[in-house]
Amino acid sequence: MTARKDVKKENRWNLEALFPSIAAWKKELNTLTSRKEAPFFPDLLKLKGSLKDEKKIKKALTLFFSISRKLEKLYVYAHHYHDTDTKEQKGKEIYAISSSLYHAFLTESAWLKTELLKVKKTTLHHKILAPYRFYLDSLTRIKPHTLPLEQEELLARAGKACSTPHKAFSALSDADFSFDSVLDSKKKKHPLSHARYSLNMKNKDRTLRKNTFSTYFGKYEQYENTFSEILSGQIESHIFNAKAKKYDSSLEAALFPRNIDVEVYKNLISSVHEKISALHDYISLRKKAMKVDKLHYWDLYTPLIEPSKMHFSYEEAEDLLLDAVEPLGKDYQKLLRQGLKKDRWADRYENENKRSGAYSGGCYDSYPYILMNFNGTLRDVFTLAHEAGHSMHSLLARKKQPYQYGDYDLFVAEIASTFNEDLLMKALIKKTKSKKEKAFLLTEKLEDIRATLFRQTMFAEFELLIHTAAEQNIPLTPQFLKEEYLKLNTFYFGKELTYDPLLSIEWARIPHFYYNFYVFQYATGISAALLFSKMVREGGNKERERYLHLLQSGGSNYPLQLLEEAGVNMREKSAVNAAIDTFSYYTKELDSLLF
């Protein structure tokens, strides 16, 4: 595999635009704080106890967000640099420094929220504080869950320790793991890595898929005790913080500050349960199309139809995407073209020790960077569309909003990404004149909805299940985790799938289980995105501008309110039901093409 130092410049993201070198990064660090021990931000601490009027409050908030902005820039560079080579020592060093400094900042600024909550509401609503109105109103809302200063500082100090499980998972899975080569039906060896796993699972050689599944999942099973302890530690940190903040549950603690009803989460699960037969119908169709006596997990990702040409260069993927987003207008296209073609937003290909998967990153003062591990499959093209959706959301929000509202809430985070994927799929289906390729594309669309709506809802249900178990003092042993995970798979995929014992360990390889109730937003996101896509494609300028306004709004209001303003109500089941109905429609259309 290619070493990081041998990756061509045009295939790397342009981190130099953020800092030209690590030396420049360290110079900026010393400008922000040259202190080697706490307090690292003494000017901020000097304001402690002074928030008596609106002018002092404005001074404190201005300094707070100024430090946060500079620190975020340092952290993002270090984080992105580290992700391109997780074993490189310089990257490890600056990532550790920035992470530690970030947690120190949380500790040293913990007093600010506590003091602001003691200020009269009339003072907080003074016109001089208008740029911070929503921030202050959001803060006031969580007053019942805000602790005395000493306790808030203690929780902030515990934050660094509580982040250890996620880091341990990443270090073990991304840096320490290596996989044996796997054989296909002709005894030919194929390399296996995180990126190659997905590629192998799409291969038409069933023996290769089975061996890939066995080797890859088998590796995680070897460390099932380690992963269960890491996951348990992550969940215990959520419970610790929820109890400390006087929430009824970890789920409420994760959603309440963002004004998201717990029922939105539970409605998603119940809506999918009510219409789970739609997924069972698709699994049955897949089994029939593959002509197998038993359908296994390793059969779920291979294309049902092999098109004449479905391998793409990275440049072709960019061009397909740029054409597909035409419904969003010329300005949107121009910004995206500039980012991908000239500004080098994307780190394109896998290299040795690079973080697996893909994401959109960056900060208020950087490009909205895209990490990729592009292999030329159609799925990789959709991954680019997905991450570019995130990046354009970030870019539009940061262009329109001040720093304090430049980031959008996680609940709306997956809408722009999934919206772009839907535009890409519609464009590809429209272009094809081949019945065979249309069937292939429909399969891909069905797989996309299956993976994003049904699978992520299953993940969300598992996440809620294990948090609830831990809150009831049920030990999260490997046996418990494996049994419960397999039960959920059985319910979601139905009777037509053969359940191999190794499938029960899959939870150990899912990085999002080490987050905090994140995955449900993929499912709610695709539901909202499909509605927005339909409205924009079938509507006019009004519908497009309303959607773009949502992207430009950043974090200037609560996510459910922003969605309602744009025309989608996620408190109701209608969006999820409509997405499942779309899935059923595509299943029937594919059936008519294949049989």
Residue 82 burial by Cβ neighbours in a 10 Å radius (0-12, 13-18, 19+) = buried
Percent of residues in the chain assigned helix, strand, coil, to nearest 5: 70, 0, 30
Evaluate if residue 308 carries a pLDDT over 80.
Answer: no
Please report where in the chains the tokens 């065979």 appear, as a residue: 436
Rounded CA separation 43/48 (Å): 10
Evaluate if residue 361 carries a pLDDT over 80.
Answer: yes
| Rounded average pLDDT over 490-511 | 96
pTM of the model: 0.83
Structure tokens at 260: 């998201």
Evaluate if residue 89 carries a pLDDT over 70.
Answer: yes
Rounded CA separation 4/16 (Å): 15
- Please count the other Cβ atoms lying within 10 Å of the Cβ belonging to residue 236: 17
- 244-258, 295-309, 435-449: range with lowest mean pLDDT: 295-309
Rounded CA separation 571/564 (Å): 9
Helix (H, G, I), strand (E, B) or coil at 395: helix
pLDDT at 481: 98
DSSP 261-308: -HHHHHHHHHHHHHTTHHHHHHHHHHHHHHT-SSB-GGGSSS-SS--S
CATH class of 4-162: mainly alpha
pLDDT at 310: 77
Residue 382 burial by Cβ neighbours in a 10 Å radius (0-12, 13-18, 19+) = buried
pLDDT at 307: 66
Rounded CA separation 391/416 (Å): 9
Q: Which residue has the higher pLDDT, 557 or 52?
A: 557
pLDDT at 161: 85
| Rounded average pLDDT over 377-397 | 95
Which stretches of 291-409 are DSSP H helices?
Answer: 314-324, 330-337, 378-400
Evaluate if residue 83 carries a pLDDT over 70.
Answer: yes
| Rounded average pLDDT over 9-31 | 97
Catalytic site residue 387? yes
pLDDT at 273: 97
* DSSP summary character for residue 354: P
Stretch (H or E) spanning 426? helix 410-431
Residue 574 burial by Cβ neighbours in a 10 Å radius (0-12, 13-18, 19+) = middle
Residue type, 592: S
Determine contact, residues 594/585, Cβ cutoff 8 Å: no
Evaluate if residue 303 carries a pLDDT over 90.
Answer: no
Structure tokens at 324: 């597909």
Q: CATH for 165-222?
A: 1.10.287.830
Question: Which position among 224, 252, 318, 387 bears the catalytic label?
Answer: 387
Structure tokens at 30: 């010393």
Please report where in the chains the tokens 């500050």 appear, as a residue: 257
Determine contact, residues 512/404, Cβ cutoff 8 Å: no
pLDDT in tens, 196-233: 998 899 999 999 999 999 999 999 999 999 999 999 99
Q: Which residue has the higher pLDDT, 310 or 182?
A: 182
Domain boundaries, the chain: 4-162, 165-222
pLDDT at 305: 84
Structure tokens at 406: 């430049």
Structure tokens at 127: 């016109």
Determine contact, residues 367/192, Cβ cutoff 8 Å: no
pLDDT at 154: 87
